[in-house]
Structure 1
């Protein structure tokens, strides 16, 4: 995940949204949201715990999730309803490893490739790194961007995915409180991901 300054990020997003001027009306980036981004982007080291429900054609399920993210590495640990380990995905540098109990580890260049090879699902993990925090991915065009009454994202459309933010929560950090998503729904064709976040931990990367 690339680290952007707040100014560079906002400039990228403004340009990406401006490419959607043919849609009516094009939303403006509010001062509230700009202030939120300036507060959030320096917090490049974070962790969330919660529940993830996956619905795909003829399949689906739910699991607990622990997602730990740092600028150059990440880990996603999935557990079942009784705390049993289901699988983990860990990335460091250009290598991502998927581990399951009683199976040999599998490696690939990206988490997306690992998931596609093992499930056939196309899950945009790189983009979810931004979306789960209520941010558009600055590397892709924003097809739609809507904010709520507080100036925070209510819905983002990128790469044919629609991400809806139903609820937010206040999270303490060393630099004061920041507002983070509590319930996120990401939809693409017949795929639906619902993430209910119980806890966030945020800090600036050293």
Structure 2
């Protein structure tokens, strides 16, 4: 399997399904402090739940190239396994690793390894996916160690927009999920790079 084949042969229907972005309605100034306090409490609760998983759909684009497919992400602390598949072609790759390094499988030329997961993906596929930060952002939390973040809250008091590390992330929330409430979809952008996620299911993280 070539990286180009995976990028170009994925489902266009899924890419279209991921085009919606979160509204940018913001809270009145007198409610911002309470929303920030609730967000800090959410992030503390999420840190206590370091094992999690999601299944859903992903669409990526960078410099005019992109693709979409199914995603299965499993996280246990610093350890992760991220699998992406193109349902039509049955092609897939898997990224796994921890804080010390990453391994990418399913690409032309055999597995590749490196110290930085985002760089490994960029070199192999051309995709710009901030793996470490996205593990925090995808659950609606600011990424520790990435510098200050600018946030905006929606009229429901939940995080609607986050800017950190040069990326801008918009959220749509799942009002029916368990506490702490988790996002239903998000869109992350930096320059020409874009990552869209629709989460179909959240669960506990179990890495085999």
TM normalised by structure 2 equals 0.75
Query: 1:83 & 1:198 partners in 2: Cα distance?
Result: 21
The aligned runs of 1:118-137 (5 Å cut-off) are: 118-137=124-143
Q: Which runs of 5+ in 1 are unaligned?
A: 1-24
Q: Distance in 2 between matches of 1:201 and 1:44?
A: 12
Structure 2 counterpart SS, 1:171: coil
Q: Which of 1 and 2 has higher RCO (CA within 8 Å, sep 6+)?
A: 2
Aligned to 1:146: 152
Q: Which residue of the other structure, out of 119, 123, 126, is the alignment partner of 1:113? A: 119
Q: TM-score with structure 1 length normalisation? A: 0.76
- RMSD across aligned positions (CA): 2.3
Report the 3-state secondary structure (helix = DSSP H, G, I; strand = E; otherwise coil) of the residue aligned with 2:41.
Answer: helix
Q: Identify which of 65, 73, 76 aligns with 2:79.
A: 73
Distance 2:165 2:41 in 1: 26
Q: Which residue of 2 aligns with 1:100?
A: 106
Q: What runs of 5+ residues in structure 2 fail to find an aligned partner?
A: 1-28
Residue-pair matches, total:
175
Corresponding residue number in structure 1 for 2:191: 189
Rounded to whole Å, the distance in 2 between the matches of 1:91 and 1:73 is 6
| Residues in 2 aligned to 1:191 and 1:59: alpha-carbon distance in whole angstroms | 9
Equivalent residue in structure 1 for 2:45, among 28, 39, 49: 39
Residue deviations 1:43-92, cap 9 Å, x none? 10000000000122221111100000011311000111247241100104
Is the contact between residue 85 and residue 101 of structure 1 (CA under 8 Å) also seen in structure 2?
no
CA change 1:161–1:80 in 2 (3 A) is: same
Mapped contact 1:170–1:180 kept (Cα < 8 A)? no
Structure with greater proportional strand content: 1
SS at match of 2:140: coil
